[in-house]
Amino acid sequence: MKIIRTKEGMREWSRSCRAQGKTIGFVPTMGYLHQGHLSLVEEAARAADEVVISIYVNPTQFAPGEDLEVYPRSEEEDLRKAQEKGATVGFCPSSLYSEGYQTNVIVEELIKPLCGVSRPTHFIGVATVVTKLFNIVRPDTAIFGKKDYQQLAIIKRVVEDLDQGVTIVGMPIVREADGLAMSSRNAYLTEAERAQAVALSQVLDLVRRATKNGERASHVLRDMALTHFKKFPLLQPEYVEIRDRETFELVTEVHDRCFIALAAKLGTTRLIDNSELD
């Protein structure tokens, strides 16, 4: 596995790779890899000749007071795990922003609801750094997890709106045995919080089952979720919303192109989860 630490080195590798007619699959991450990330690497290896994984904790997607300084890191182990799953290049830049940096990629509507309410600058940082990474790595295909459902929709929109020419693939959420969606931030949970974190996936199961049994009214499904959350005293719900998968508009009646998304805090740790509804 080749480790590249500069933009110039990454560009050069990409250019020579394309000159040989090889395709590039790309998995952008902030490191501290779990099985969810590794499933993206495996998919990239199926989709392309070469697989680049980037490990970069992007400062512009954290707001002041968020967890930038304490975000967990394990680069050496990350690279080893990624290589096992088929990554051929690890791109680990020390910084991506030059002096006087002042340009952002802004998706006007999709960044506003859900996580955009409590993190109003987060998706601007994400869209911008992904655009930068795409311009440096020049992949044919890039793989993202559906756990960050809003992020995935935003990136698809940016690729289409700015004609970036990258195929975006979204992969299913990978879960722990009890249903908790894998996340690097799960490492922040105390034992007691970890036990109650199961509430998020339980709520998704409840709502999915209720819709299968014919319940269509969003407000009923939402109340059901909030009632279940009340059984978990350490958990503070932030939002529970059912929206259209394409437009992200709120729906009053569930139809077959919806998803339910939720966010909750356990102590100082913010967790998100979601499920498409059919």
Q: Which of 84, 161, 178, 244 binds its own copies (CB under 8 A)?
A: 161
For residue 255, indicate whether it is catalytic: no
String of contacts with its own copies for each residue 234-273, x by CB under 8 A: -------------x--------------------------
Site for its own copies in 98-127 (CB under 8 A): 98, 100-110, 127
Alpha-carbon Rg for the chain in angstroms: 19
Asked if 249 contacts 268 with a C-beta cutoff of 8 angstroms, the reply is: no
Q: Which is nearer to its own copies, 111 or 171 (CB)?
A: 111
Asked if 148 contacts 171 with a C-beta cutoff of 8 angstroms, the reply is: no
Q: Which of 37, 122, 219, 228 is catalytic?
A: 37
Tell me how crowded residue 112 is: count the other CB atoms within 10 A of its CB.
12
Site for its own copies in 6-25 (CB under 8 A): 7, 11, 18-19, 21
Minimum CB separation of residue 75 from its own copies in Å reads 22
List Cα–Cα distances, 242 to 97, 179, 249, 278, in angstroms.
36, 20, 9, 12
Interface with its own copies, residue 61, by CB under 8 A: no
Minimum CB separation of residue 18 from its own copies in Å reads 8
| Closest by CA position to 117, among listed 9, 277, 235, 261 | 261
Q: Which of 29, 128, 151, 201 binds its own copies (CB under 8 A)?
A: 128
Q: Which is nearer to its own copies, 106 or 220 (CB)?
A: 106
String of contacts with its own copies for each residue 166-205, x by CB under 8 A: ----------------------------------------
Interface with its own copies (CB under 8 A), residue total: 34
In three-state secondary structure terms, 126 is: helix
- Helices 149-161 & 122-137 angle (0-180, nearest 10): 50
Q: Which of 29, 39, 54, 131 binds its own copies (CB under 8 A)?
A: 131
Q: For 75-108, b where at least 16 C-beta lie within 10 A, e where not — what string?
A: eeebbebbbebbbbbbbbbeebeeeeeeeebebe
In three-state secondary structure terms, 87 is: coil
Q: Which is nearer to its own copies, 111 or 221 (CB)?
A: 111
Contacts of 131 (CB under 8 A, 6+ apart): 105, 158, 162, 164
Enumerate the active-site residues. 37
What residues make contact with its own copies under the rule CB under 8 A?
7, 11, 18-19, 21, 96-98, 100-110, 127-128, 131-132, 135-136, 157-158, 160-165, 247
